[in-house]
Structure 1
C-alpha cells in the first residue's frame, strides 16, 4: 500500500468515524431525549464500575470536572444517580445509578442494540466479528495514546455537555 493510498484510507476512516459519532448522538437524542449520549456514557460507566467518584469520571473520560458536575447534577435531578458514602472512607461520596437509573440504562441499551441489529442485519457473522475486532483494536490504541474513553474519533462534539 502506497503512502498516498494509506493517507486516503486514514482520511476516509476519520470522516466516517466522525459521521458515525454525530449520527449516534442524533439517534440517542431521538430515542431517549431525557438521556443524552454523554449522560448515557457516564451512567453506563457508573453501572459498570458499581459506583465511583465524580473526579474518577472526569479523569476516565478526560472531561472537565465542571462538565461532569453539570451532567451528574442533571442525572440526580432526574432521579437516575445517587450519592453514597464510600465503604472504606465515609467522607468520600460515590456516585451510583438508582434503580430508576438502572432501568433507564437497560431500556436505552436495548433500544440502541435494536438499532445496531437493524443496521447490521445483512452483514455476515464473519464481517461482524472482524468489524468488532477492528473497533476493539482502534479503541485500545486510542486508550493507550491517552485519548478520552468514549471520545469518538477526536470529534469535540461528542464530549460536550
Structure 2
C-alpha cells in the first residue's frame, strides 16, 4: 500500500519559504564578504559560476564546455560567455582547446582560483560547523537528506497551470 504525502498547510508553506529566504539572504551577504578573498573584483554571480565549474567536473582538471556549463546552471550560453570572459580577465579561469573537438574550448579554473576557492569554501564550512556545533549527527543527516530532497524537487520544472510559464524559484 502506498501513501500519498500529506499537503502542507499554507502556514507551513509560508514558514518554509520564509526560512529558505532568510538562509539565502544570509548566505549571499556572508558570501559577499568572503569572495573578495578570491579576487577583489569578483562579483557574486561570477563566484557562483566558479563553483559550478568545479562542481560540474569534480576532480577533473580538463574543464567544461561553455554550452555544457550553461545547461548545468540553466542560463543562456551568452550569459556564461560574458561571465567567463570576465573571470578570464581576472585570471581565475582559462580556456583551452577541447582535445575531442578542435572548435570547442574547455573552461577550467586557474591554480590560484582553485586554491582561493578552496580556502573560501573551508571558511564557509567552518562557519557552518560553528552554527551546528550543538546538533546531533542524526539532526545533520536529516538536514542533509531534506536539503537533497528539496534541491531535487526544485530542479524539476514547475509550470503555472494557467499560463504555462515556468515558475522558476
Common topology (TM > 0.5)? yes
How many residues of Structure 1 are paired with residues of Structure 2 in the alignment? Answer: 148
**Alignment CA distance shift 1:26-1:102 (3 Å):** same
Cα distance in structure 2, aligned partners of 1:109 and 1:20: 17
**Alignment CA distance shift 1:2-1:110 (3 Å):** closer
Please list every run of 5 or more consecutive structure 1 residues that lacks an aligned counterpart in the other structure.
148-152, 155-161
SS in 2 for 1:44: helix
1:115 matched to 2:127: yes
Higher helix proportion (structure 1 or 2) = 1
Shift of 1:2: 8.4
SS in 2 for 1:145: coil
Q: Is the 8 A contact 1:28 1:36 kept in 2?
A: no
Within 5 Å, which residues of 2 pair with 1:94-133? 94-133=106-145
Cα distance in structure 2, aligned partners of 1:14 and 1:20: 10
1:21 matched to 2:24: yes
TM-score by length of 1: 0.81
TM-score by length of 2: 0.77
Please list every run of 5 or more consecutive structure 2 residues that lacks an aligned counterpart in the other structure.
160-167
**Alignment CA distance shift 1:55-1:125 (3 Å):** same
Larger Rg: 2
| CA offsets 1:114-136 (integer angstroms, 9 cap, x no match) | 11111111211111110110000
Partner of 2:14: 11
Higher relative contact order structure (alpha carbons within 8 Å, sequence separation ≥ 6): 1
1:54 matched to 2:78: no
Partner of 2:163: none
Please report the RMSD computed on the Cα atoms of aligned residues, expressed in angstroms.
Answer: 2.3
